A and B are shown apart, each in its own frame.
Chain A
Amino acid sequence: MRKLLDLFLAFAKVGVMTFGGGYAMLPILEREIVENKGWATREELMDYYAVGQCTPGVIAVNTATFVGYRTAGNLGGIAATLGVVFPSLIIICLIAGVLTNFAEIPAVKSAFAGIRVCVCVLIFNAVVKLWKGAVPDKAALLLCLAVFVLSVFLDLSPIVFVVFCAAAGILFTRLGVRGE
C-alpha cells in the first residue's frame, strides 16, 4: 500500500513538472525515477521509452505503467498511471472551468484567434520533427502521403488508416520494398 502511494505521488510529481510530454519528460523521469527513487536504471528507462513509441497511446502514460509494474506489479502499474494523469485532471478542469466563463469576452476571443495561428505552426513543427524518424524511405513516403491525402478528402475514421498501415508495413517488409 505504502509503495503504491509512493508510486502515485512520484508520478504525480513527474506529471506536474512535465510541459508537453514525450521527450520533454525524459530528464524529469531520470531525476525522479532513476536518481531519487532507484526504481529503474537509465537503460531500462530508455527501453520503456522505445516500447512506448511502438505501442499505442501517450508515451508518458506507457512509461508510467511500465515503471509501476516493474516496481509493484499490476497495481503498481495502475497507481503510477493514475499518478501521472492526476495533475492534468485538476489543472485542466480549473482552466477549462474559468475559460468557459470568459469565452464570450471580445478580448479573449481575439487572444484565442491569435493562439490558433500559433497552434497551426506548432502542429507543422511537430510534423516536421516526427517526419525525420517516421519516413526513412520511398515506401514510407508513399504511405504517409496517401494517408494525408485520403484523410483530408475522405471522411474516414483514423482507425481505418492505422489498421491498414500496420498491414502495409508488414506487407512492404515482406515484399522487400522497405529501405529503398
Chain B
Amino acid sequence: MILLQLFWEFFKTGLFAVGGGMATLPFLYDISARTGWYTTAQLADMIAVSESTPGPIGVNMATYVGFTTAGIPGAVIATLGLVTPEILIILIIARVLASFRQNKYVDAAFYGLRPCSVGLIAAAGVLVVKVSLLNLERFGVTGAILDAFNWKAIALAAVLLVFTRLVKQTKKLHPIFFILASAVIGVVFSF
C-alpha cells in the first residue's frame, strides 16, 4: 500500500516539478509534511548525498526518499513514479517538437512557471535554514533571542558563501568539495 502511495506522490512530483532537479525539493518537503515518512533534517542530508553522488539530483533524491520510506522496493517505485509522467510527456512532445517550442501559450505559461519554481525552491530553502542555522528548540526553553541562532553554523555558512560566490579560485569547484569540507568542520567543531 505504501508503495502505491509512493508511486502516486512521485508521479505528481514528476508531473508538476518544473525547472530541473532542485525543483523537486518543494514537493519532497510537502510529502514529508503530509506523510511524516521522513523529517526535514533527513531531507537536508538526502540533498547533500544526492549532490555528492553520480546521477541527476532529482533522480537521486527520489531514490533516497523512496529507500528511506520503504527500502529497496520503495527506491525503485519512487524513481519509476518520478520518471513515468516525464516519459509520457516527452513521447507526446517529441511528435510535435517544432510547434511545441513555438507555441505562444506554452511560452507564456513558462514565463509564469520559471519565477514560480525559484520562489518554491527558496521557500524550501527557508526550511533547511530552520533546521541547520537556527536553534528554535533552545530558544523555546530559554527565551533568549541570541539562543535562537546556531552561531557556529552561521559562521560556517558565511565562510562557505565567500568561497562559493566570491573567491575566484574556489567558486567553480564542484559542490562535493564544500560538502566534504563541511562534514570535516562539523566533526572537528562538534556541530
Complex CA distance for A81 and B45, rounded to whole angstroms = 26
- The chain B residue with its CB closest to the CB of A113 is B191
Q: Judging by beta carbons under 8 Å apart, are B91 and A127 in contact?
A: no
Q: Does B136 contact A (CB under 8 A)?
A: no
Give chain A residues whose Cβ lies under 8 Å from the Cβ of B52.
19
Q: Judging by beta carbons under 8 Å apart, are A96 and B67 in contact?
A: yes
Complex CA distance for A84 and B72, rounded to whole angstroms = 18
- The chain A residue with its CB closest to the CB of B61 is A92
Q: Judging by beta carbons under 8 Å apart, are B86 and A120 in contact?
A: no
- Residues 98-115 of B at the A interface (beta carbon under 8 Å): 100-101, 104-115
Complex CA distance for A55 and B101, rounded to whole angstroms = 10
Q: Judging by beta carbons under 8 Å apart, are A91 and B114 in contact?
A: no
Q: Judging by beta carbons under 8 Å apart, are A57 and B89 in contact?
A: yes
**B2 to A: closest C-beta gap in Å:** 17
Q: Does A41 contact B (CB under 8 A)?
A: no
Q: Judging by beta carbons under 8 Å apart, are B97 and A89 in contact?
A: no
Supposing A110-B190, A115-B182, A116-B44 touch, asked if A88 and B54 sit within 8 A by C-beta, the answer is: yes
Q: Judging by beta carbons under 8 Å apart, are A158 and B49 in contact?
A: no
- Residues 30-73 of A at the B interface (beta carbon under 8 Å): 47, 50-51, 53-62, 65-66, 69-70
Q: Judging by beta carbons under 8 Å apart, are B20 and A89 in contact?
A: no
Give chain A residues whose Cβ lies under 8 Å from the Cβ of B55.
15-16, 18, 21, 85, 87-88, 91-92
Complex CA distance for A166 and B17, rounded to whole angstroms = 12
Q: Does A26 contact B (CB under 8 A)?
A: no
**A30 to B: closest C-beta gap in Å:** 16
| 8 further A-B pairs in the complex, CB-CB below 8 A; given A92-B50, A122-B178 | A21-B20, A84-B56, A84-B59, A88-B56, A91-B53, A111-B186, A115-B48, A174-B108
Enumerate the 7 nearest inter-chain pairs by beta-carbon distance, A residue then B residue, closest first.
A114-B186, A169-B112, A147-B119, A21-B56, A88-B55, A165-B116, A144-B115
**27 pairs across A/B with beta carbons < 8 Å?**
A18-B55, A25-B56, A47-B101, A51-B90, A53-B19, A55-B93, A56-B89, A57-B17, A58-B14, A58-B82, A58-B83, A77-B90, A92-B63, A96-B63, A96-B75, A100-B68, A120-B125, A127-B118, A143-B116, A147-B120, A148-B123, A152-B126, A158-B17, A159-B12, A162-B116, A169-B111, A170-B108
